[in-house]
Homo-oligomer: A and B are copies of this chain.
Amino acid sequence: LYEFNKLVSTQFFMVGEFEFIEKLRRKYSLGAIGDDCAVLPKDEKTDQVITADLLVEDIDFRLDWTKPEFLGHKALAISLSDIAAMGAEPKWAMLSLGIPENVWHSDFIDRFYDGWFSLADEFNVELIGGDVSRVPERLVIDSIVIGEVAKGKAILRSGARPGDLIFVTGKLGGAAAGLQLMKNGLSYESMKPDRDIELTLRQLQPLPQVNIAKLLKIQAIVTSMIDISDGLSSDLMHLCKESGVGAKVYADRIPVDENLRDLYRSEQERLEIALNGGEDFELLFTVPEAQLSSLNTWTFLRSAR
């Protein structure tokens, strides 16, 4: 049994950023800021959700660790994950690219778009705009995705109530372990064991839980949701903070990625990666205990991934 407050004390790897957004929100009374997406009224039946994600070379990715196609995929995937976390369906996207001279004069951008469109086609997302600019060095990507959800039905971070049960899709820790493999000098191209490749792909080519989010929305039993980008512990804290609740997480129920078993001998170490690693882009959500029976299809959903 883990106490939530204890868990989150060690993993504030972006110190200042959350506080900054919080300050901005208070100073300018920004009601729409603070969830995975902003929610805007569209028409009588529909709300619109919109998200932006900035990816910076050598901060969020390294060109020598990834392939252009993976990076194009991931740039879209992280924004689709935000849309999914609202229980919404992605529709349109924009892409702003700051491109260094040497990247501009290679086949990088063509391959980047191949990866981007390959994922976009899977979910019928249309590219409608963006911007292209030169940068002196280091690629910059701003990914914007617009989605739609039934009016008033966007699933916020703030809807969790005391007594709700906490769920997470998929397995955790794989993306962080994949990142560690690359930090240790393994490049994707040279990897042999399937295990290493699978973990690395969790980091380089994450799958946004768009379809699962759609099914959960239909069930209409989810009270709050967030995607796991910073790590289970951080993102659960965000959800708790917005909902004004606390949380208890049972260590033995955390779905640690099985591929971590060979790489990390200590169970404690595996657990910490699953808790604090981040970038798994699974969905974390809460369900009232009375609705537990509605989650009967859950096993099916999970295996459908």
Point out residues on A near B: beta carbons under 8 Å.
Answer: 14, 16-17, 20-21, 24, 28, 30, 32-33, 37-38, 40, 42-44, 50-56, 58-60, 92, 94, 96-98, 104, 109, 113, 117, 126-136, 138, 140, 142, 144, 146
Main DSSP-derived SS at the A contact region: strand
- The residues of B that contact A109 with a CB separation of less than 8 Å are 20
Q: Is the CB of A144 within 8 A of B21?
A: no
Q: Is the CB of A128 within 8 A of B38?
A: yes
Q: Is the CB of A28 within 8 A of B92?
A: no
Complex CA–CA separation, A92 to B37 (angstroms): 13
Q: Is the CB of B59 within 8 A of A134?
A: yes
Given A32-B128, A94-B144, A128-B30, A135–B40 Cβ distance below 8 Å?
Answer: no
Q: Tell me, rounded to whole Å, the shortest Cβ–Cβ distance linking A65 to chain B.
A: 16
Given A54-B96, A117-B28, A140–B129 Cβ distance below 8 Å?
Answer: no
Complex CA–CA separation, A129 to B33 (angstroms): 5
Given A42-B42, A56-B133, A127–B96 Cβ distance below 8 Å?
Answer: no
Further contacts, 20 of them, CB under 8 A, given A32-B126, A42-B43, A50-B146:
A20-B132, A21-B132, A30-B127, A38-B92, A38-B94, A40-B92, A40-B128, A43-B44, A51-B129, A52-B129, A52-B142, A52-B144, A54-B96, A54-B131, A54-B140, A58-B136, A59-B135, A131-B142, A135-B138, A142-B142
- The residues of B that contact A94 with a CB separation of less than 8 Å are 38, 50, 52, 144
- The residues of B that contact A138 with a CB separation of less than 8 Å are 135-136, 138
Q: Is the CB of B142 within 8 A of A33?
A: no
Residue of B with least CB distance to A51: B129
Q: Is the CB of B132 within 8 A of A56?
A: no
Counting every copy of the chain, the complex holds: 2
Given A43-B43, A104-B16, A142–B96 Cβ distance below 8 Å?
Answer: yes
- The residues of B that contact A130 with a CB separation of less than 8 Å are 52
- The residues of B that contact A55 with a CB separation of less than 8 Å are 133
Q: Is the CB of B54 within 8 A of A142?
A: yes
Complex CA–CA separation, A126 to B30 (angstroms): 8
Complex CA–CA separation, A92 to B225 (angstroms): 24
- The residues of B that contact A16 with a CB separation of less than 8 Å are 104
Complex CA–CA separation, A55 to B58 (angstroms): 19
- The residues of B that contact A128 with a CB separation of less than 8 Å are 30, 32-33, 38, 40, 50
Complex CA–CA separation, A27 to B142 (angstroms): 21
Complex CA–CA separation, A135 to B136 (angstroms): 13
Residue from A53, A117, A130 whose CB has the most chain B CB atoms within 10 Å: A130
- The residues of B that contact A129 with a CB separation of less than 8 Å are 32-33, 37-38, 50-52
Complex CA–CA separation, A128 to B29 (angstroms): 11
Query: Mind listing 6 A-B residue pairs with CB under 8 Å?
Result: A40-B128, A52-B130, A59-B135, A98-B140, A131-B142, A142-B142
Q: Is the CB of B54 within 8 A of A98?
A: yes
- The residues of B that contact A52 with a CB separation of less than 8 Å are 94, 96, 129-131, 142, 144
